[in-house]
Structure 1
Amino acid sequence: MKKQTQSMPLNTLQQGDCLKFLAALPDHSADALITDPPYSSGGLHISAKQAVTSKKYLGSNGASYPEFLGDHRDQRSHLHWSLLWLSECYRVLKPGAPVCLFSDWRQLPTTTDALQGAGFLWRGITVWDKTEGVRPQPGRFRQQAEYVVWGSKGDMPLQRGVGVLPGVYRVSIKAADKHHTTGKPTELMRSLVKICQPGGVILDPFAGSGTTLVAAAQEGYQWLGCELSAEYAQVARQRLAA
């Protein structure tokens, strides 16, 4: 039996589980997927992974942020869960839509596997250079980069009205622009959303503090978002209303 779905008003942020949110969206209703899902990568062992996020991710600016949910899975369950929501995204996206998924080095192999397992074409990796402002550790390389695994739903035509985009984004984290434990800079996201065709609808099922949605609105795109945490959904709504 075909799933019954109905159009959701554009520029809508829903608070709740992303799987229910995505299941309610109609086929071929978004032009790009740009999202920063929980990495489930903090800590080396399962007991450490299941710690609250404020214990796993220590910020360099000393600020305190609300806990966020869904960051407790081990490697196998993270892959299985990623396949579930990415498969729903595949249905929701239009043919040729670009996909951008944030990851750190620990989950990079899992993220590239999940992208392809859900049916997307893997096209490459873009680097976010966080600059030398990240916390140093003597005798070790700086954990200075995170990654954007990107691809598309099948063929992605060159003639989409999109220019040439950087392969590396060097953007520092500024305290005044950080609203989430693992939040990304608005400047970074304003550049990244430009992979979407002009005026298109950008889907973000892990909206967090709303930075992708804010960036989409500032760059002239429509958007659809979901956030599991009620606290962060409220932060995102406040930022979008500002």
Structure 2
Amino acid sequence: MSWQLFQQDALTWLANQSADQYDALVTDPPYSSGGLHAGTRTADSANSKYLNNPGKYPEFSGENRDQHSYMLWSALWLTEAYRALKPGSPFLVFTDWRQLAVMIDAVQAAGFTYRGCVPWDKTEACRPAKGRFRQQAEFILWGSKGAWHDKDGPTYPGIIRCGVMAGGPKLHTTGKPVPLMDALVQVCPAGTVLDPFTGSGTTGVAALRAGRRFVGCEREEAYYEIASERLSKAA
């Protein structure tokens, strides 16, 4: 089978994975950021923090950690992911400007070699704010478990410009566009891409389109069903 998806908490699931079995980690964990006021920042409700019309997408939890607990939690699941990856495997982990420093610390605390940060330019259509800079970018931290796996491949772009709705409508509150994920998975070696925060399944779709296998985990039942359907079609 070219893909597998499990409905379970990511940290619990990763702790039960065998060592040295996956070839790449590509994932978009909850950011636990956003919200204009303390009440919304600490609410365990993604839609109320990120959208003007709550109810548009199924909810997902895990959005109410402060930065200290978020860094601890991130180091825990990243350590388990590190163990489950083969030596030389690349990692690509999404974050935003609020959690950028925290996630840089967490990937290194887990044992990864941190090699850089690729900005995702979401274009000028994203969050205009008069008198201020646009919050126009999110970030993909990248690196590897030990030595980088490829010394002879192509040079990939250091900034990826892609609208949030490119490739079709979003199916998740914080879903990433398929063309963005298509570009990112090109650095993954042949084999199996791991995503413990599968969401609506876009990473898996991109991995399958690129000829890789995919194994993921998604806690929320609604998104597990959405991702399963998308992966079946992509396969």
TM-score (norm 1): 0.90
Alignment of 1:135-214 (within 5 A): 135-159=127-151, 162-174=153-165, 176-197=168-189, 199-214=190-205
Equivalent residue letter for 1:163: P
Tell me how far apart the structure 2 counterparts of residues 143 and 206 of structure 1 sit (CA, whole Å).
24
Q: Structure 2: any 5+ residue segments left out of the alignment? A: none
Tell me how far apart the structure 1 counterparts of residues 126 and 206 of structure 2 sit (CA, whole Å).
23
Alignment-derived partner of residue 64 in structure 1: 56
Deviation at 1:69, TM superposition (A): 1.3
Deviation at 1:45, TM superposition (A): 5.6
Partner secondary structure for residue 80 of structure 1 = helix
Closer, same or farther in 2 for the Cα pair 1:16/1:240, shift >3 Å?
same
Q: Does 1:55 align with 2:31?
A: no
Q: Structure 1: any 5+ residue segments left out of the alignment? A: 1-8
Between the two proteins, the alignment pairs up a number of residues equal to 231
The 8 Å contact of residues 128 and 146 in structure 1, kept in 2 or not, is answered as yes
Tell me how far apart the structure 2 counterparts of residues 58 and 136 of structure 1 sit (CA, whole Å).
15
Tell me how far apart the structure 1 counterparts of residues 14 and 119 of structure 2 sit (CA, whole Å).
27
Alignment-derived partner of residue 215 in structure 1: 206
Alignment-derived partner of residue 81 in structure 1: 73
1:229 to 207, 220, 228: 220
Query: Where has structure 1 moved over 4 Å in runs of 4 or more?
Result: none
Query: Cα deviation per residue 1:207-234 (whole Å; 9 max; x = unaligned)?
Result: 0000000110011001110011110111
Identity across aligned pairs (percent)? 51
Deviation at 1:29, TM superposition (A): 0.5
Aligned-CA RMSD value: 1.8
Alignment of 1:108-123 (within 5 A): 108-123=100-115
Equivalent residue letter for 1:18: A
The 8 Å contact of residues 162 and 196 in structure 1, kept in 2 or not, is answered as no
Deviation at 1:50, TM superposition (A): 2.4
Tell me how far apart the structure 1 counterparts of residues 12 and 32 of structure 2 sit (CA, whole Å).
21
TM-score (norm 2): 0.93
